[in-house]
């Protein structure tokens, strides 16, 4: 198996025939952290059932021991007959310090899959990297050795309604709230440049790892800045909802729904290892669907029992505004 180097793109197309018709006038978007594809057959069947037009997947393993050596994203694209773009973030190194569930040997990244053509696929680089994964002396890198860095996959999709810019992000989890906001700002800067170039319809999908909630505030890894205590009373998703996303440059202010999944009502991670006598001590909204010049007609949340991944999926049917 030939592995895509960190920071590089891989593309393949498994569609047959012409692009599908779209009589409903809506585009179904799917956001899901698939947890390395441990449950790949079930994930494929779930995605087949959802039948999304554009899929944003994080934690896509390629050739890693922990996921059976499979090219998980490519297998999904083949099974569903989709256009496929993969961004490798990390080479996952084998190590005796890793257990079987985390053992490397391959690479790891994020993918966008689509029923439609890609007119452009690119990488958006982060300026802020709170963890230097390339430093073997870093405590986190010693425990989970890898080479590479977080980055964002961007694809311009030729939908029947017109070009749609799709971002797939997986922000750093081992940092504080402020570092994640800095990484989010990199996506916003690129989105403004794309809007200036005439691509007004956009969606940002991803696992943003908005982890500052519950007992995660006490961790030296997950919430390691002064906001862990200054934000007490709100989890990180609510901080974004109230204080980050409403701060808009009026030149780029979206019309329609900017965030169709209310963080007060949506939980996408509820770690069973941190449940105590029926109480969930580490749960929150980590996954996001952000829209610009799009209206959400319908939305859904699935994988409620976390059988297929440690994250729920989010789906939104959107129309161009």
Q: What b/e string do you get for 184-199 counting C-beta neighbours within 10 Å, with b at 16 or more?
A: bebbbebbeebbeeeb
pLDDT in tens, 238-286: 999 998 998 767 677 655 458 999 998 999 999 777 787 777 777 899 9
Whether the CB-CB separation of 29 and 53 falls below 8 Å is answered with: yes
pLDDT in tens, 82-136: 999 999 999 999 999 999 999 999 999 999 999 999 999 999 999 999 999 999 9
pLDDT in tens, 147-188: 999 999 999 999 999 999 999 999 999 999 999 999 999 999
Distances (CA, A) of 114 to 7, 19, 103, 280: 21, 10, 30, 35
Alpha-carbon torsion angle 239, 243, 244, 248, nearest 10 = 160
Whether the CB-CB separation of 124 and 190 falls below 8 Å is answered with: yes
Residue 214 confidence (pLDDT): 67
The span from the CA of 125 to the CA of 54, in Å, is 22
Statement: residue 230 has pLDDT above 90: no
Sorted by where each starts, the structural domains of the chain and their CATH numbers stand as 9-320 (3.60.10.10)
For residue 290 the two structure tokens come to 């952000």
Q: What percent of the chain has pLDDT over 70?
A: 97
pTM: predicted TM-score of the whole model, two decimal places: 0.95
DSSP per position, 74-86 = HHHHHHHT-EEEE
Whether the CB-CB separation of 183 and 171 falls below 8 Å is answered with: yes
């Amino acid at each position: 198996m030939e592995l895509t180097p960190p920071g590089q793109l891989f593309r393949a197309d498994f569609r047959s025939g012409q692009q599908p018709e779209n009589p409903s006038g809506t585009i179904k978007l799917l956001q899901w952290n698939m947890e390395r594809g441990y449950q790949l057959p079930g994930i494929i069947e779930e995605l087949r059932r959802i039948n999304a037009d554009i899929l944003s997947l994080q934690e896509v393993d390629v050739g890693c021991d922990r996921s059976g050596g499979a090219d998980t994203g490519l297998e999904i694209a083949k099974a569903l007959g989709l256009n496929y773009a993969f961004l490798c973030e990390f080479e996952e190194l084998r190590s005796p310090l890793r257990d079987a569930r985390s053992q490397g040997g391959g690479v790891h990244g994020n993918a966008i899959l689509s029923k439609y053509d890609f007119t452009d696929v690119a990488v958006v680089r982060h300026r802020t990297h709170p963890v230097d994964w390339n430093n073997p002396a870093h405590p986190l890198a010693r425990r989970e050795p890898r080479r590479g860095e977080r980055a964002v996959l961007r694809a311009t999709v030729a939908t029947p309604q017109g070009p749609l810019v799709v971002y797939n992000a997986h922000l750093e989890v081992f940092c504080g709230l402020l570092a994640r906001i800095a990484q989010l700002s990199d996506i916003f800067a690129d989105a403004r440049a794309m809007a200036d170039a005439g691509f007004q319809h956009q969606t940002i999908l991803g696992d943003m790892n908005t982890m500052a909630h519950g007992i995660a505030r006490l961790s030296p890894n997950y919430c390691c800045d002064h906001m862990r205590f200054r934000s007490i009373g709100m989890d990180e998703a609510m901080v974004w909802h109230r204080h980050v996303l409403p701060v808009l440059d009026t030149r780029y202010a979206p019309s329609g729904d900017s965030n169709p999944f209310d963080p007060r009502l949506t939980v996408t991670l509820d770690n069973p290892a941190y449940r105590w006598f029926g109480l969930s001590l580490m749960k929150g909204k980590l996954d996001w669907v952000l829209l610009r010049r799009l209206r959400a007609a319908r939305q859904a949340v699935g994988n409620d029992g976390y059988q297929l991944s440690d994250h729920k999926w989010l789906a939104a049917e959107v129309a161009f505004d």
